[in-house]
Structure 1
Amino acid sequence: MRVIVWLVEGTWPACVDAVRTHAPQASEVVLLHVSGPEVPDVAHGAFAGLLGRGHPERDPGSRLTDLGGTSAAELLAAAAARLGRPCTRLERNGRVEREVVAAAEDADLLVLARDGDRDRLGPRSLGPAVRFAVDHAPCPVLLVWPEAAPDLTTLPPAPPPPHH
């Protein structure tokens, strides 16, 4: 069984714990972190627009890209240590939701965490990237709560029955 575990800052421990609980010990586990281009691109644009292009060595976008790579490596190392069994670490760059789906192409299971409103049950507990991955994953998905799930009292009231 090949298990892809999508790691995101803030929710990754729940995903790793779910693998430890639900994936057979003999599973091939791939810890996945995807860095999107948004933050470095904004910094590149701001630098070029506000400060000109005369000193590329001062471009903060390059520094943010480097910091993102270091942060991803540290997150993957922490997740591997928490998992406590052999695994592969995979870093990808690009449109996050599409990279996750592409990484799950040959997987038997994709593990990811809710990233939206975690105060109540319902569809808003999924942010856009997680919703895309859930909707387009080419394999079964294990969707976990990063902390205890909200109480059933957070469900919206049921609509009245239709009048005939």
Structure 2
Amino acid sequence: MTVITWLVEGTWQACTEAARRFAPAGADIVLLHVAAQDVSDVGHGAFAGLLGRARVERDPGTAMEHLASAASDRLLAAASERLGRPCTPLKRTGRAETEVVAAAEGADLLILARDGDHTRPGPRSLGPASRFIVDHASCPVLLVWPESPPLPLRAADAGSGVR
């Protein structure tokens, strides 16, 4: 059994705990972190705008790529330590939603955290990337709350804002 756990800054702890709790013993757990490509692209673009006045070794996009890779390494190491069992770290770069869906192809379970509005249950508790992943993943998906889930609304209170 292969379990993919998508780790994002701010919600990785909940996903790691879910993997520890729900992945069966002996499962291959993959801890996945996706770094956005567009940030370093901006740095490369700014460097290219200098029209030959700068040296290649001073390209800020390259520095941003190194910083993103180091941050990804730290997050994966912390998650691996928290998981406390054998796992495979996987770093990808690109659009998070497409990279996660691609990584989950052939997996038996994908774990991700809700990343939208945490004040109430429902569709808005998923951000755009998570919504895309839930809609396009080819395996079962386990959604976890990054903190305690909100209290469910009663039908009588739904329009009043009372909880």
- TM-score, normalised to structure 2's length? 0.89
Q: 1:6, CA displacement in angstroms?
A: 0.4
The residue aligned with 1:4 is: 4
> Which stretches in structure 2 are left out of the alignment for 5+ residues?
none
The residue aligned with 2:34 is: 34
2:22 is the alignment partner of 1:54: no
Give SS of 2:73's match: helix
Q: 1:52, CA displacement in angstroms?
A: 4.1
Give SS of 1:121's match: coil
Q: Would you say the 8 A contact 1:120–1:154 is kept in 2? A: no
The residue aligned with 2:140 is: 140
Q: 1:10, CA displacement in angstroms?
A: 0.8
2:18 is the alignment partner of 1:18: yes
Q: 1:114, CA displacement in angstroms?
A: 0.8
2:115 is the alignment partner of 1:109: no
Q: Would you say the 8 A contact 1:100–1:133 is kept in 2? A: yes
**2: CA distance between counterparts of 1:154 and 1:112?**
27
Q: Deviations over 1:39-67 (max 9, x none)?
A: 11122223434x44421332211111000
**1: CA distance between counterparts of 2:3 and 2:134?**
15
The residue aligned with 2:127 is: 127
Structure 2: which amino acid aligns with 1:128? P
* Cα pair distance change 1:154/1:99, threshold 3 Å: farther
The residue aligned with 1:90 is: 90
The residue aligned with 1:157 is: 158
**1: CA distance between counterparts of 2:18 and 2:128?**
22
**1: CA distance between counterparts of 2:102 and 2:42?**
25
Give SS of 1:153's match: coil
**2: CA distance between counterparts of 1:81 and 1:26?**
17
* Cα pair distance change 1:53/1:97, threshold 3 Å: farther
Q: What fraction of aligned residue pairs are identical, expressed as a percent?
A: 61
The residue aligned with 1:70 is: 70
Structure 2: which amino acid aligns with 1:104? A
Give SS of 2:153's match: helix
Q: Would you say the 8 A contact 1:97–1:133 is kept in 2? A: yes
Q: 1:23, CA displacement in angstroms?
A: 1.4
Q: How many correspondences in the alignment? A: 157
**2: CA distance between counterparts of 1:126 and 1:47?**
36
Q: Deviations over 1:46-89 (max 9, x none)?
A: 3434x444213322111110000011011111101000001111
**1: CA distance between counterparts of 2:46 and 2:119?**
35
Q: 1:154, CA displacement in angstroms?
A: 8.4
Structure 1: which amino acid aligns with 2:89? R
